[in-house]
Structure 1
Amino acid sequence: MVLDALIKIKNEIDPSLTFRRSCREGICGSCAMNIDGCNGLACLIKISSDSESTITPLPHMFVIKDLVVDMTNFYNQYKSIEPWLKRKTPAPTPGKEIPQSKSDRAKLDGMYDYWGNPESYLGPAALLHANRWIMDSRDEYTQERLDAVNDEFKLYRCHTILNCSRACPKGLNPGKHIQNIKRLEMAP
């Protein structure tokens, strides 16, 4: 895997090489980088045996050093979509779970577990999670959530290139969920 090559380079050739890594299970996303022009996780992408590879930091993010990008903007964008259940009415039974039908729950599958204006564009992860809360039948702030992302630099900066869907280690298809928000924004 590309991550193995980076570790070998760091251990044997250049100890100053800096990159993030964590679980090697393709879940956390800490080793995300651009490999041969596609965003992906170094722990999941195999080394090409027939050509050289080009490895760069994630595009449209501020670089701290080498392959490490500043995640502050990402975390701020994620926080801006208020990723928690919001209700206007009290829970049916205080202190208890809010019931949800199986069909309503099924609508959330594939939306959890987990660039032109990087400061404003929410990005695929935040928008996928925004859609997760928009689609949750228990949440009562759907319109407010739609209003919060309805902006040319938030939702509509996505150009449906689908790099996010190809790179997602869990196969969550953020592009599909971004399209869902766009459809809801256009609905009467």
Structure 2
Amino acid sequence: MKELEENESLELFSWYAFRQPIPMKKFNKLSRNVVAYCGGLPLALEVLGSYLFERTKEEWITVLSKLKRIPNDQVQQKMRISYDALMDDTEKDIFLDICCFFIGKDRAYVTELLNGCGFHADIGIAVLVERSLVKIEKNNKLVMHDLIRDMGREIVRESSPREPGKCSRLSFHEDVRHILTTCKNFNNSDKKKCNKK
């Protein structure tokens, strides 16, 4: 991914964090610090800027302290700050479902499907769009950057790295094939054993 110059980085970040090309005066130094920790990576600037929009100075300082602990080459970890700060598990579940199953699908279709599961997807998807974790294309399709998709899939994989059958979602063909061949008879005890969503 091509890195931006410092001034370009600050401007891009400001558009998402303040909805204007330059930081607000009282956030100028904090903005420059966040931009420095993002290393000129446009996606990290966009996601963190969207997350920090209309947040207090104290919240900015908390985000900076988290960024300081993340090595420069760990882009996904930097973007994960926005995911970790989602208000409830439903928004996180919607995000993970989109990462694993619904990229490129029609927003109305996905919303109806997730609402049927009790997820309140109308507001959940809107929150993810505000955070720049999900985008809506002109044809109403849900899309996201590959790095964000990979971050979501890694979050799922982390829940059971050695036993994919215990993960809440399966997004890799190899894992699905393994589970389907290992758990051939899908009666109730096998479903529990496979922990299949």
Shorter chain as denominator, the TM-score bin is: under 0.3
TM-score normalised over the length of structure 2: 0.26
Which of 1 and 2 has higher RCO (CA within 8 Å, sep 6+)? 1
TM-score normalised over the length of structure 1: 0.27
Q: Which has the higher strand share?
A: 1
Q: Which has the higher helix share?
A: 2
